[in-house]
Homo-oligomer: A and B are copies of this chain.
Amino acid sequence: MIEPTVSRNFEPDIPDIVIRRLPIYVRTLRALQESGIANVSSDQLAELIGVTAAQIRRDLSYFGKFGKQGKGYDTFHLEQAISQILKLDHKWDVALAGFGSLGHAIAHYRGFEPSSFRIAAIFDRNPEQLGRQIDGVTIMSDRCIAGEVARLGIQIGIIAVPAANAQDVAAALVEGGIHALINYAPVVLKTPPNVLVREIDPIGALQSMTYYLEGEHE
């Protein structure tokens, strides 16, 4: 919901929903390589991911031809190709706003090494956190957000602050030149149309699942 108004890319017109599926293809192709599997058909890949083979072929066709008829796809080459399309072949600096337990979890996440992302700045409102070093990054005050983001030329921000501060923090990040935001706060952010926002909303996910569950528990 609340899908991005994208204005930075001028590819013909590739649906955002296709772009959002590409990371799953990359992930699965990497897992296959690690299992020593050099080749997959769209049927096999579909089975692993839980989608249809037609969807995979259709998705890929937006970007070119990556397979061989009768053979399928080379896991290494297809992964490289999609990684390049997503620009995952170089590192991106990320600004993390909020260093509570969620921010801590984000900063310490090592589920994806080597990763294309690096926490290059951390901000927190709590004075006790200020000056603390995390992997060589010094936690700074929220008041430094715009200046520091601009100074470092950071394009991606993660909002992990309480709902009440999320809008102000978002505004500061945008002021600093951020173009893409991951928002963990349960708040609809007001941002300019050239800023891409993706919501991470586990509470919303929980709240929508109970609809399907059996009634009177507890």
Contact = CB atoms under 8 A, between A and B. Distances in A.
Interface of A: 1-2, 4, 6, 8-9, 19-24, 26-28, 48-51, 85-88, 90-94, 100-102, 104-106, 108-109, 111-112, 115-117, 153, 155-156, 158, 162-163, 179-180, 182, 184-186, 188, 196, 198, 200-218
Contact of A116 (B6, B88, B210): B210
B212 A180 contact: yes
Contact of A217 (B23, B93, B201): B93
Contact of A188 (B24, B196, B206): B24
Contacts of A201: 23
Contacts of A185: 111
Given A22-B207, A87-B210, A101-B105, 20 more contacts: A8-B212, A19-B212, A50-B188, A86-B207, A87-B215, A90-B218, A91-B217, A92-B218, A101-B104, A102-B105, A104-B104, A111-B163, A111-B186, A111-B203, A115-B203, A116-B210, A153-B217, A156-B209, A180-B213, A196-B212
A15 to B, nearest CB: 12
